[in-house]
Structure 1
């Protein structure tokens, strides 16, 4: 299995001692965020980070202190110095994003940043 294909449209970035997984916000799964557009959700990087935080807290709590988020308006970004933990996160998060029922349930508890 090809890791890059498995996490697409998220993408992996390696730095010196840090690893990131990012997403150009706006194109992927925009229908998730449209369900709460009247509350101000747009599907930007901050909204993705809010969703990802709920995912980590509820689905991968052992990663709470290992995975950090650094979103921008146009980009979601999660990072860690632990590559294996970040890979565990993004593979599970991508799988959750593809599960309509699960991702909507998680998003119902996301808070606007």
Structure 2
């Protein structure tokens, strides 16, 4: 699976390798770079209730969120439905842009 949950010495994180995802074509078609920073912005816009509980440490090639296992498990389920669906990504991008949200990709 592309999304991984980690427990390293009691610090819990979720990572997503950016690139090679089914949704990448839709991200690029919307004028964005499908990198870790894009996915961080998407999470902050689409699931603000989860995002506010997390810390982020994304890079160009990887999205990374750090937090408690419960929030990370919820985020994993939400992301799994989006990274495999160009339609879901297009919908979130359209809602974000119409609300004035700017992705930092």
TM bucket by the smaller chain? 0.7 to 0.9
Residue 30 in 1 paired to residue 24 in 2? Answer: yes
**Hey, what's the Cα distance between the residues in 2 that align with 1:103 and 1:43?**
11
Aligned to 1:18: 11
Counterpart contact for 2:27–2:90, Cα < 8 Å: no
Q: How does 1:13-92 map to 2 (within 5 A)?
A: 13-28=6-21, 29-37=23-31, 41-57=32-48, 61=49, 63-80=50-67, 82-92=68-78
Q: Secondary structure at the match of 2:47?
A: helix
CA RMSD of aligned residues (A): 1.8
Distance 1:64 1:43, change over 3 A: closer
What whole-Å deviation, never above 9, does each CA across 1:43-80 have from its counterpart, x for those lacking one?
111111111111212xxx2x243122211011111110
What is the Cα deviation at residue 100 of structure 1?
3.9
What whole-Å deviation, never above 9, does each CA across 1:15-62 have from its counterpart, x for those lacking one?
22321111121111211211222xxx21111111111111212xxx2x
Counterpart contact for 2:25–2:86, Cα < 8 Å: no
**Where do 5+ consecutive residues of structure 1 fail to align?**
1-7
The alignment's TM-score, normalised by the length of structure 1, stands at 0.74
**Hey, what's the Cα distance between the residues in 2 that align with 1:25 and 1:34?**
12
Q: Secondary structure at the match of 1:53?
A: helix
